[in-house]
Amino acid sequence: MGIFDRLKTVISSNINDAISKAEDPEKMLNQMLIDMNEQLVESKKAVAMAIADEKRLQRELNDNKNQAAEWENKAMVAVRAGRDDLAKEALMRKQEHDSYVAQLTTQWEAQKESVEKLKESLRQLQTKIDEASRKKNILIARAKRAQAQEKINQTMSSIAGNTSAFDTFDRMAQKVDELEARTEAQKELDDATSGASLEQQFAALESSPAAADAMLEQLKQKMIEQDAGKAKESPNSVNP
At 132, is the pLDDT very low, low, confident or very high (cuts 50, 70, 90)? confident
| Contact indicator for 45, 122 with CB cutoff of 8 Å | no
Single residue among 109, 135, 164 that ends a domain in this structure: 164
Count of domains for the chain: 2
Span 150-174, mean pLDDT?
Answer: 74
- Residue 129 within any structural domain of the chain: yes
112 and 57 in one domain?
yes
Is the pLDDT at 180 greater than 50? The verdict is yes
Does 145 fall in a domain?
yes
What band does 14 get if pLDDT is binned at 50, 70 and 90?
A: very low
Nearest to residue 47, comparing CAs of 134, 118, 142?
118
Boundary (domain end) residue, out of 131, 164, 197 = 164
97 and 148 assigned to the same domain: yes
Q: What is the mean pLDDT of the chain?
A: 79
Residue 114: inside a domain, yes or no? yes
Task: Say if residue 147 is in the same domain as residue 179.
Answer: no
Q: Is 34 among the domain residues? A: yes
The whole-number pLDDT of residue 155 equals 77
Final residue belonging to a domain, choices 164, 187, 209: 164
Residue 205 domain-assigned (yes or no):
yes
Q: Evaluate if residue 131 carries a pLDDT over 50.
A: yes
Task: Specify the higher pLDDT residue, 95 or 163.
Answer: 95
Q: Are residues 158 and 187 in the same domain?
A: no
Positive or negative CA dihedral for 78, 84, 90, 91?
positive
The tens digit of pLDDT for each residue in 69-79 reads: 999 999 999 99
In a shared domain, residues 37 and 132: yes
Other Cβ atoms within 10 Å of 129 Cβ, number: 19
pLDDT score of 93: 95
In a domain, 82, yes or no: yes
pLDDT at 164: 64
pLDDT greater at residue 165 or residue 11: 165
Is residue 39 located within the same domain as residue 68? yes
Of the two residues 164 and 102, the one the predictor is more confident about is 102
Residues 89, 140, single domain; the answer is yes
In a domain, 237, yes or no: no
Mean pLDDT value across residues 115-131: 90
Q: Does position 193 have pLDDT exceeding 70, yes or no?
A: no
Where is pLDDT greater, at 167 or 197?
A: 167
Does residue 35 form part of some domain?
A: yes
Q: Where in the sequence is the domain holding 73, given as residue range(s)?
A: 2-164
Q: What is the pLDDT of residue 197?
A: 61
Q: Are residues 182 and 205 in the same domain?
A: yes
Confidence of residue 238 (pLDDT cuts 50, 70, 90): very low
Same domain, 158 and 220: no
- Kindly state whether residues 21 and 96 are assigned to the same domain: yes
**Over residues 142-165, mean pLDDT:** 76
3-state secondary structure the chain: CHHHHHHHHHHCCCHHHHHHHCCCHHHHHHHHHHHHHHHHHHHHHHHHHHHHHHHHHHHHHHHHHHHHHHHHHHHHHHHHCCCHHHHHHHHHHHHHHHHHHHHHHHHHHHHHHHHHHHHHHHHHHHHHHHHHHHHHHHHHHHHHHHHHHHHHHHHHHHHHHCHHHHHHHHHHHHHHHHHHHHHHHHHHHHHHHHHHHHHHHHHHHHCCHHHHHHHHHHHHHHHHHHHHHHHHHCHHHCCC
Residues 97, 136 within the same domain: yes
Looking at the structure, do residues 18 and 61 belong to the same domain, yes or no? yes
